[in-house]
Homo-oligomer: A and B are copies of this chain.
Amino acid sequence: MERGGSSFDGDAAAAAEEEAALREPLLRRRTLNTTSQIAIVGSNICPIESLDYEIVENDLYKEDWRSRKKVQIFQYIILKWTLALLIGLATGLVGFFNNIAVENIAGFKLLLTSNLMLKDKYQEAFAVYAGCNLILAAAAAALCAYVAPAAAGSGIPEVKAYLNGVDAYSILAPSTLFVKIFGSIGGVSAGFVLGKEGPMVHTGACIANLLGQGGSHKYRLTCTWLRYFKNDRDRRDMITCGAAAGVAAAFRAPVGGVLFALEEAASWWRSALLWRTFFTTAVVAVVLRALIEYCRSGKCGLFGKGGLIMFDVSSSVTTYSTPDLIAVILLGVLGGLLGALYNFLLDKILRYYSFINERGAPFKILLTVTISLLTSCCSFGLPWLAKCTPCPPDLGHQCPTIGRSGNFKSFQCPPGHYNDLASLFLNTNDDAIRNLFSGGTESEFYISTLFIFFFAVYALGLVTYGIAVPSGLFIPVILAGSSFGRLVGTLLGPISSLDKGLFAVLGAASFLGGTMRMTVSVCVILLELTNDLLMLPLVMLVLLISKSVADSFNKGVYDQIVKMKGLPYLEAHAEPYMRNLVARDVVSGPLITFSSVEKVGTIVQALTLTGHNGFPVINEPPFSAAPELCGLVLRSHLLVVLKGKRFTKDRVLTGASEVFRRFGPFDFAKAGLGKGLKFEDLDISEEETEMYVDLHPITNRSPYSVVETMSLAKAAVLFRELGLRHLCVVPKTPGRPPIVGILTRHDFMPEHILGLFPHCKRH
């Protein structure tokens, strides 16, 4: 690892050098998985860094805070709401643009294909269909592979990790945002079995990050009050809003968006945040509504009813009997089993794909193109297996469907007949779901059709996720779930009289519960999607069962991906074996401390040799009677002070006023990952290294600390609940140096602890 370049929380870099043997397995695994999914810049593995959610209460902060006038606080509040408004507006617009683009591109493709089919030009139709898919897929993959590798996949796991306190390089960068939007349009239009919902969440988070940067030095977009946002705390809030706005825009589900952010995305939650995310998603809902109203008159090309999903189930089910309940319970159990299997297989496939993807961009594109061809073959080939059905006479001109979407595709069938499998395959995913959810269409789909479609979609969804294209998991899971639900409903027709469309909704719920393990948010999203409150108790029942069943096999799919990517995610609860350990047990690596008035050379050396991001500062005589812990100083703050060069010849206190004269609080504001001052920017002369610098003004005087004999479980809870980056471990007995070590996120990872204490696992 290069000097100064801190891999995952800095301290780990040093620790890794010291205890390489011990942690080899962990690091190796992390590296392996990281390369494939997380950005590769040149040939270096990209940095993962912890975020500073703790308020650094040093003299500068306090002075800055004291000098804030009422009007500034008011400006800050106004600005925060304005940002939430802007995030909502932008996410709504992007979501709508995404929909229009997909509907038009995919619609044009499908129209072209079906016109050729009507003229019996089957081979040409396939060539056009597969060709369009191929081009779109290759374009999306190329964007992804060359411009922003971080944009591949769903993005929800990365957002989740960010909100847990782990920043990965370029995960929320503008380039990622760009690729996410256009890559997602390409991927969805290319007919893959993937969704635009996960990418929308990531897009929302990227937009929030961009807006929440607190201005930009580079583009001279700075002003006094914007700097108050230049910290990880406020950025976290914004990104939570962005994630909620993403779901709201993807599903047109404002309340579901808030609950998604709460249940799945965020690791910390405050009541104020609920309020702000709610505002953001309300803005999204209003924007979408206005735009849909605008498009109603046909101004948006092929964008019609097919756009933003809203499946009006409106089944009139009000009563259900015991056999119905048994059918629903069965659906829940099977959904849980198949969901857990989905997660298991996805993990295996992703691990296999990572070997292909890490060979470089051409291989990524090749893989994508292969999957695209496979998908095209399935979509176009499988419908030949279905037989043609005469149109129900009561439908009139609705069957066979003319135009691009609809329930009754004619495909190869003679006039007055339709191919039920083609109605599912040769449609956009949204339309396929709408067809499956539709009520009152008992006999539209044959059992064999549903079986083939379910099997194909389940398999295609698995092999599609890992390719280098922005790809959400919601739609594949809903597709598989709803076809499975309808299949079960049709099979159980003799014993249950529930509507088949309702069965499809329940099947989707059971699969969502089985893979993603979300409950309340899925419930509300489905509610908002289907606009049917009466089925709520059944959806709740199915979710409860499928989640319980699946939880006994493995973790939720997003947790699994977070783990596989090697992102050090802190769980909310402490592991049981941690109760047998104390904080001292996991402290590792050599501790580097500074004296409160330190020689410049010593600091430079420490910054060169280690990648630590926090250093304890010790008050020593003559500045105190005995050595005592003064606080913690951050690497970024040290760099600013060294760059400013206010050194003294002698070892004296310069006091805070000197620092205030030289620096504004804006200089110490936290920049985004990879953007702040770097060690290489310093230019310290030989003479200056012999001078002194007073660290008091920039030292956080109130770092959280635990006694070395503190139970590790309790230290972990403290670390997690307060969102810390560094936790000081202080000695229990007097007469020893005032600090034992520093705990970081890494030290609480089960891999690290079980590496040190292999016997723990048995407990």
A: residues with CB less than 8 A from B are 55, 57, 62, 65-66, 254-255, 258-259, 262-263, 269-271, 274-275, 278-279, 282, 285-286, 289, 293, 319, 519-520, 523-524, 527-528, 531, 533-534, 536-537, 540-541, 544, 547, 572-573, 576, 579-580, 582, 624-626, 628-629, 701-702, 704-707, 709-711, 713-714, 717-718, 721-722, 730, 732-735, 763
Contacts and interface: CB of A to CB of B under 8 A. Distances in A.
A540 B732 contact: no
18 contacts: A66-B763, A254-B537, A255-B523, A259-B259, A262-B262, A275-B519, A278-B540, A279-B544, A282-B540, A286-B537, A527-B533, A626-B735, A628-B732, A629-B707, A702-B711, A705-B706, A717-B722, A718-B718
Contacts of A293: 319
Nearest to A707: B705
A763 B65 CA distance: 11
A710 B717 contact: no
Given A263-B271, A282-B540, A533-B528, A258 B57 contact: no
Contact of A537 (B282, B523, B540, B730): B282
Q: Is the interface of A mostly helix, strand, loop or mixed?
A: helix
B705 A701 contact: no
Closest 3 CB pairs of A and B: A282-B540, A702-B711, A734-B734
B701 A709 contact: yes
Contacts of A579: 57, 62, 65
Contact of A254 (B55, B66, B534, B540): B540
A527 B255 CA distance: 10
A579 B580 CA distance: 36
Contacts of A572: 270-271
A679 B523 CA distance: 51
Contacts of A537: 254, 282, 285-286, 289
A263 B730 CA distance: 37
Nearest to A705: B707
A566 B718 CA distance: 29
B254 A536 contact: yes
A400 to B, nearest CB: 30
User: How many copies of this chain does one complex carry?
Assistant: 2
A64 to B, nearest CB: 11
A285 B626 contact: no
A283 to B, nearest CB: 9
A121 B580 CA distance: 80
Contacts of A270: 572-573
Nearest to A763: B66
Contacts of A721: 721-722
Contacts of A536: 254-255, 285, 528
A254 B524 CA distance: 11
A582 B722 CA distance: 18
- Of the listed residues A269, A704, A713, the one surrounded by the most CB atoms of chain B closer than 10 A to its CB is A704
A710 B718 contact: no
B702 A709 contact: yes
A628 B541 contact: no
Contacts of A255: 520, 523-524, 527, 536
Given A286-B537, A293-B319, A541-B282, A711 B701 contact: yes
Contacts of A528: 533, 536
Contacts of A262: 262, 274
Contacts of A541: 282, 286
A700 to B, nearest CB: 9
Contacts of A269: 269
A702 B707 CA distance: 8
Nearest to A65: B579
A626 B733 contact: yes
A515 to B, nearest CB: 16
Contacts of A544: 278-279, 282
A625 B735 CA distance: 11
B57 A711 contact: yes
A582 B57 CA distance: 12
A697 to B, nearest CB: 16
B732 A734 contact: no
A293 B321 CA distance: 11
A718 B714 contact: no
A628 B734 contact: yes
B57 A714 contact: yes
Given A271-B572, A718-B718, 9 more contacts: A66-B580, A254-B536, A254-B537, A255-B527, A259-B259, A262-B274, A263-B274, A270-B573, A279-B544
A278 B702 contact: no
B274 A520 contact: yes
A152 to B, nearest CB: 27
A318 to B, nearest CB: 10
Given A57-B579, A285-B536, A278 B626 contact: no
